């Protein structure tokens, strides 16, 4: 039996991200990662199915968290108010404080076609989860679909800005700024419903 | 020299789409396609680099067309009004009348992981092109990014509804309905700017 390693998961993540940046994702092997982390490959596979999972391990967690934020919002709140509130909580709970790591992941993903497409797929799964959560709240299909798509669009735009920012800005604030900017763009269109 | 074949491109597309549906994308070969179309593989490669291009041939055309619609809009029009107008023109010029073919493509793409991810990538390229066109109009970076992301989100939601519809509805009308639904959702949020 391997002995218990404190923080093994984080050490493996750290080592993997560093190696993916240094050598490229395809070139860094699991033995390279475990050697760098000072752990065994056996330990690696206790935490991750493969090296891809180091980058996409939160894939199942994010849709679940987002759906929960929609479920848990006050019953009288309109879909867009739910989105605005949810974005702030999501940013604070799942992202703020992890900028360097998320930025590093982004660099790795951007440098590899397969990873980039998988990242896009991840966003599509997030959209589906949010739309389902809105339908469960009684929101009609069309509104649920377009509000979910828009919410994930705001997340994507805000994440990109956050990663390119000076590191002093909170993602929660950028989410709010992006939301407000879009809201104003609709307001300025001077169209029905506003 | 192969003799000139009227409608060769369309015959190849038709044959390819039918075979992709019947056998699956990976199983249908270029010789299968050309045999079905009654044309030579040489003719096939005059029109398409490979069988993937039959599905994604419009990949470069769509961002260009969308960017042009943004460029060509009246100078005083706000970004969201440009989007609303552009969506209708895009639907009419690039999609309406082609529903069966686009629906068939969708079925093929949904059935294949690699194709599905490529489709998502295509949408990301479209978003980039629209954002660049808005920046060229003098719209600030953040507004350009979030408006472009939202516009492409509306396209995606509307296309899905159109493909699932009875075939009597115009995509242009669904685009407008999706746009209006999102606009109303922002209106209902009761937030600043509306």
CB contact under 8 A, B185 and A149: no
Backbone φ and ψ for B189, nearest 5 degrees, come out as: -65, -20
Q: Which two tokens stand for residue A103?
A: 């930025």
Whole-number pLDDT of residue B1: 46
A189 has a pLDDT exceeding 80: no
Provide the shortest C-alpha distance from residue A184 to chain B (in Å).
Answer: 5
Whole-number pLDDT of residue B187: 81
Whole-number pLDDT of residue B188: 54
Whole-number pLDDT of residue A65: 93
What angle (nearest 5°) sits at the alpha carbon of residue A111, between those of residues A109 and A113? Answer: 80
Whole-number pLDDT of residue B167: 81
How many beta-carbon contacts under 8 Å exist across A and B?
A: 142
Whole-number pLDDT of residue A32: 95
CB contact under 8 A, B193 and A178: no
Asked if residue B104 lies in contact with residue B167, where contact means CB atoms within 8 angstroms, the answer is: no
- Tell me: the pLDDT tens digits for B37-79? 999 999 999 999 999 989 887 666 899 999 999 999 999 899 9
Enumerate residues 116 to 135 of chain B having a beta carbon within 8 A of any beta carbon in chain A. Answer: 116-118, 120-121, 123-124
- Chain centroid to Cα B115, Å, comes to 14
Spell out the long-range contacts of B56-65 with Cβ–Cβ below 8 A and sequence spacing 24 or more: B56/B118, B56/B119, B56/B122, B58/B94, B59/B122, B59/B125, B61/B94, B62/B94, B62/B122, B62/B126, B63/B125, B63/B126, B63/B128, B63/B129, B63/B130, B64/B129, B65/B90, B65/B93, B65/B94
CB of B74 within 8 Å of a chain A CB? The answer is no
B86 has a pLDDT exceeding 80: yes
CA distance A149 to A143: 10
Asked if residue A111 lies in contact with residue A143, where contact means CB atoms within 8 angstroms, the answer is: no
A57 has a pLDDT exceeding 80: no
Round the average pLDDT of chain A to a whole number and report it. 89
Residue of A146, A169, A177, A194 to mutate, interface with B, max B Cβ within 10 Å? A146
- Chain centroid to Cα A91, Å, comes to 9
Could you tell me the pLDDT band of residue B193, with boundaries at 50, 70 and 90?
very low
More reliable by pLDDT, B9 or B148: B148
CA distance A168 to A171: 10
A124 has a pLDDT exceeding 90: no
Whole-number pLDDT of residue B194: 36
CB contact under 8 A, B81 and A191: yes
Whole-number pLDDT of residue B4: 64
CB of B110 within 8 Å of a chain A CB? The answer is no
Round the average pLDDT of chain B to a whole number and report it. 89
For the whole model, what pTM was predicted?
Answer: 0.85
Q: Which residue of B has its CA nearest to A145?
A: B157
Whole-number pLDDT of residue B59: 65
A88 has a pLDDT exceeding 50: yes
Whole-number pLDDT of residue A116: 84
Provide the shortest C-alpha distance from residue A144 to chain B (in Å).
Answer: 10
Please list every residue in chain A whose beta carbon sits closer than 8 Å to the beta carbon of residue B192. Answer: 180, 183-184
Provide the shortest C-alpha distance from residue B104 to chain A (in Å).
Answer: 21
B2 has a pLDDT exceeding 80: no
CB of A167 within 8 Å of a chain B CB? The answer is no
Percent of chain A with pLDDT over 90: 68
Q: Residue A67: which residues within 8 A CB-CB, separation 6 or more? A: A129, A130, A132, A133
- Tell me: the pLDDT tens digits for B131-179? 999 999 999 999 999 999 999 999 999 999 999 988 889 999 999 999 9
Whole-number pLDDT of residue A194: 36
């Amino acid at each position: 039996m391997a002995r218990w390693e404190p923080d093994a998961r984080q050490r493996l993540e750290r080592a993997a991200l560093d190696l993916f940046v240094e050598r490229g994702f395809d070139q860094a092997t699991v033995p390279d990662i475990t050697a760098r982390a000072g752990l065994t490959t056996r330990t690696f596979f206790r935490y991750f199915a493969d090296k891809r999972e180091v980058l996409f391990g939160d894939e199942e967690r994010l849709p679940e968290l987002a759906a929960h934020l929609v479920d848990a919002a006050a019953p009288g709140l309109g879909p867009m108010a739910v989105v605005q509130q949810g974005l702030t909580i999501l940013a604070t709970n799942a992202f703020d404080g992890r900028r360097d790591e998320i930025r590093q992941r982004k660099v790795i993903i951007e440098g590899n076609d397969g990873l980039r497409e998988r990242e896009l797929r991840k966003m599509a799964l997030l959209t589906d989860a949010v739309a389902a959560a809105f339908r469960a709240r009684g929101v009609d299909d069309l509104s649920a679909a377009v509000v979910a798509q828009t919410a994930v669009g705001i997340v994507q735009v805000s994440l990109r800005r956050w990663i390119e920012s000076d590191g002093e800005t909170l993602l929660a604030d950028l989410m709010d700024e992006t939301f407000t900017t879009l809201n104003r763009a609709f307001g300025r269109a001077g169209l029905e419903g506003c």
